[in-house]
A and B are shown apart, each in its own frame.
Chain A
Amino acid sequence: MSTPFLPDPTRAMAELAELNVKLMRGAEVLGRIRDDDVQIATTPKHEVWRQDKTVLYRYEPLAERSIAVPVLMVYGLVGRYTMADLQEDRSLVRNLLQKGVDLYTVDWGNPTRSDRWLTLDDYVDGYLNECVEFMCREHKLDRITLLGICEGGVFTVCYAALYPDKVKNLVITITPIDFHADQAEGRTDHGFINLWTRSLTPEDLDRLIEANGNLPGELMSYVFQLMTPLASLTKYNIGMLDAVDDEKKLMNFLRMEKWLADRPHHPGEAAKQWLKDLYQDNQLVEGKFVLGGRTVDLANITMPVLNIFAKDDHIIPPKCSQALGGYVSTEDYSEIALPGGHVGVFVSGKSQGVLGAGIVDWLRKRP
């Protein structure tokens, strides 16, 4: 006799048999895959400039150039830029190159304890500025286009506010601007990082950085996992089971795992600014954030701005991103709201083409 809420035994047996077949197929597929088979960020590129651990790459063109002004893609320090080029058929990088964009990207490297003293001033006012100047010299231009992603979006926003004359167009994606706007959403599945950061005292963060020399990548991974607890707990059994007998799905899963496992440490002093000045004190929209001795005034952003956010972004709630529109002075401000979550915007099958096409269409109208 079956328990009232359990499926009947005959069906359960059939389900078990199906599961066994799946596991056998999966074991066979997994047995064939080696770590070397799982490659990410494979779009050809070459190094054009470096300073300390920062490297500027230029991608090889995949189509005739259709956008005159080169684009510098800037990722943050919380993850690695390779997310924008996860695999051939899920790659913002390839989508942009195939539409004729001359694309560069900056790689901040893998910071260690020896980089603990680096500040956001160094990244924005130093390395990023050097990259922009290098590109301007190479292309004999006064200005280039910046494409910021997440924390890198904050870097580009700050840069555009500090050096408006060097930025032709500003495109930001999934970027937090108002770090307290998560409270306006009232969703239990959104904005946990904002809440977590506010639950700590400034002294807690100082001690954390003092003890570790940086913001450990493992700690940030743990905080990310708290935002999707069951998905994190079940991904290697149930989640993987769904993909294990389909090689293509499995490879997608493994590539994402490779990217997730490559979470760098965030340089200590820069992490203090990121968590205390921005997440806790919300200095960017308060007009109090200082870089390189200058206050970052968002009203200085007068160039065209495209702000792209994910409607179901649990890491950077949409309202945190959308806030930018209320602070910039430009009259050419646009938004694109894409379906999906924080990473899904870049790597999901559905968003492929939509994100890249949205950016290129917008850039073409602003040559």
Chain B
Amino acid sequence: MATDWTDQANQMFKFWTEGQKAWMESLARPATAGVVNPFAQGAPAQEAMQLWNDAWKASIDQWSALLQQGSRFAFSQENLRKIVDPAEWAKPAPGSFDFGIERLIEGPNFATLWDLDRKMLKLQQLGVKRAEDSAAYHAVVFAAWKEAGERFVRQFGEAGRGPVGSYRELIDRWIETANETLLEVHRSPQFLEAQRRVTRSATDYRLAEREIAEAFCEMHHIPTRTEMDEVQRTVYQLRRDLRALLRRLESADDASPPQKPPRARRTGTRKPKQPESQSR
């Protein structure tokens, strides 16, 4: 059965967020009876501690809000508007939507913090980046089509270009104009850079996705892509070494006196003549 990683990621994110919030709140909670709470009413430096406590609580709220921004369960209208606004997506700098996630990912690595959630967050951030780059790429392409349309319309006002004789001619003129315009755009630095960025971010996303898939594989005793690549590399290297060895043996045979019949080549297989009309 196919795994819905997005859904799992979001659920895990929500679970983790709530856990973090509960943990931080427990730190600020007044101590239970019998336990000395340095922040309790009447304790020394109470005033200073109260200020510290307030600041701590405020930071929890901010922290929680920040985390919630990264979850799709808490999209505000403003964030939703930004998501569907290509201009926002096309911004080179990360938008407010992924700010929280970015902060989390760029934070310190804690030894005891479960690593998978960090991978999930990284994937989410890369998904946002990919969407931004894709929107920026499409913005360049849309601009090219717009330019092609303007050029197409303009040419009918040009002196020496009469009305078209048929609809087919009209289509041919459009194809010619659009083709020329797109070719120009495809060679422009803006297009090439937009394409490079979207290729890169899609690649980075795929690699981050693999990290999560591999974590799942490791949990369930399934060989990972990386391990398979390593095995294939080993097999490849062994085959290469074998070919080289066989060639050396053959050279040695060729150099020796012709006392025995020449050995058959073993590096490849000779096939009996068997006509085939198809390539595959």
User: Do A and B share a complex?
Assistant: yes
CB within 8 Å of B: which of A193-223?
195-196, 199-201, 204, 207-208, 210-213
Q: Find out whether the CB atom of A6 lies under 8 angstroms from the CB atom of B267.
A: no
Q: Mark A1-15, 1 if CB is under 8 A from B, else 0.
A: 000111100011001
Q: Which chain A residue shows the least CB distance to B141?
A: A229
Q: Is A199 a contact of B192 with CB atoms below 8 Å?
A: yes
Is B275 a contact of A46 with CB atoms below 8 Å?
A: yes
- Are the CB atoms of A208 and B203 closer together than 8 Å? yes
Establish whether residues A207 and B204, one from each chain, have CB atoms under 8 Å apart when the complex forms.
Answer: yes
A199's contact among B163, B195, B273, by CB below 8 Å, is which?
B195
Interface flag for A312 (CB, 8 Å): no
A130 within 8 A of B: yes
Choose from A40, A188, A208 the contact partner of B199 (Cβ within 8 Å): A208
Look across to chain B and name the residue whose beta carbon is closest to the beta carbon of A239.
B175
- Measured between beta carbons, the chain B residues less than 8 angstroms from A45 are 275-276
For chain B residues 160-198, which have a beta carbon within 8 Å of chain A?
163-171, 175-176, 178-180, 182-184, 186-187, 192-193, 195-196
Supposing A199-B196, A207-B207 touch, asked if A47 and B274 sit within 8 A by C-beta, the answer is: yes
Cα distance A196–B199 when bound, in Å?
12
| B72 contacts A by Cβ under 8 Å | no
Binary contact track B218-253/A, C-beta < 8 Å → 1, others 0:
000000000001001100110110010000000000
Inter-subunit contact A199/B193 (CB<8 Å): yes
User: How extensive is the interface on chain B, given as a class?
Assistant: 35 or more
Interface digits, A165-201 against B, CB 8 Å rule (1 contact, 0 not)?
0000000000000000000000011001001100111
Nearest CB on B from A118, distance (A): 7
Q: Let me know if A107 is at the binding interface, CB within 8 A.
A: yes
CB of B278 to closest CB in A, whole Å: 7
Question: Which among A40, A134, A137, A199 has the highest number of chain B CB atoms within 10 Å?
Answer: A199
**Scoring B residues 22 to 57 as 1 if CB is less than 8 Å from chain A, else 0, what string do you get?**
000000000000000000000000000000000000
B259 beta carbon closer than 8 Å to chain A:
no
State which of B166, B196, B199, B270 has its C-beta within 8 Å of the C-beta of A48.
B270
Is B263 close to A, CB under 8 A? no
Judging by beta carbons under 8 Å apart, are A189 and B183 in contact?
Answer: yes
Contacts A48-B270, A49-B268, A211-B207 given; does A204 touch B167 at CB 8 Å:
no
- Alpha-carbon distance A42/B168, docked complex (angstroms): 37
Q: Which of A7, A192, A231 has the most CB of B within 10 A?
A: A7
Contact A46/B274 with A116-B229, A192-B187 known, Cβ cut-off 8 Å: yes
B192: A residues at CB distance < 8 A: 195-196, 199
- CA of A107 to CA of B278, assembled, Å: 12
Chain A residues with CB under 8 A of B176 = 230
Instruction: Please determine whether A230 and B182 come into contact, CB atoms closer than 8 angstroms.
Output: yes
Output the nearest chain B residue to A234 by Cβ-Cβ distance.
B175
A52 at the interface (CB under 8 A from B): yes
Decide yes or no whether B14 CB sits under 8 A from chain A.
no
| B interface, over-half SS | helix
**Cβ contact within 8 Å between B187 and A117:** no
B276 touches which of A46, A51, A122 (Cβ 8 Å): A46
Q: Cβ of A7 and Cβ of B163 under 8 Å apart?
A: yes
Residue A226 CB within 8 A of the other chain? yes
> Whole-angstrom distance between the alpha carbons of A111 and B68 in the complex?
45
CA distance A192 to B183 in the complex (A): 9
The distance in angstroms between the C-alpha atoms of A35 and B79, with both chains bound, is 49
The answer to whether A42 and B187 touch across the interface, beta carbons within 8 angstroms, is: no
State the CA gap A122–B180 with chains docked (Å). Answer: 41
Interchain CA distance A100-B248 in the complex, whole Å? 37
28 contacts between A and B (CB under 8 A): A4-B156, A6-B167, A6-B170, A7-B169, A15-B167, A41-B279, A46-B271, A47-B274, A48-B273, A49-B269, A113-B229, A113-B232, A134-B270, A199-B192, A199-B195, A199-B196, A201-B196, A204-B196, A204-B199, A207-B200, A207-B204, A208-B203, A211-B203, A211-B207, A213-B229, A226-B186, A229-B186, A238-B171
Q: Which residues of B contact A (CB under 8 A)?
A: 156, 163-171, 175-176, 178-180, 182-184, 186-187, 192-193, 195-196, 199-200, 203-204, 206-207, 210, 229, 232-233, 236-237, 239-240, 243, 265, 267-271, 273-279
Known: A195-B192, A227-B186. 13 other contacts (CB 8 A): A4-B156, A11-B165, A15-B166, A45-B276, A48-B270, A48-B273, A50-B269, A118-B236, A126-B243, A188-B187, A199-B195, A200-B196, A208-B199
Where the two chains meet, the residues of A that have a C-beta atom closer than 8 Å to any C-beta of B are 4-7, 11-12, 15, 39-52, 60, 80-82, 85, 107, 113-114, 116-118, 122, 126, 130, 134, 137, 188-189, 192, 195-196, 199-201, 204, 207-208, 210-213, 226-231, 234, 238
Name the 9 nearest CB pairs between A and B, nearest first: A199-B192, A230-B179, A41-B279, A51-B268, A117-B236, A5-B156, A229-B182, A47-B271, A211-B206
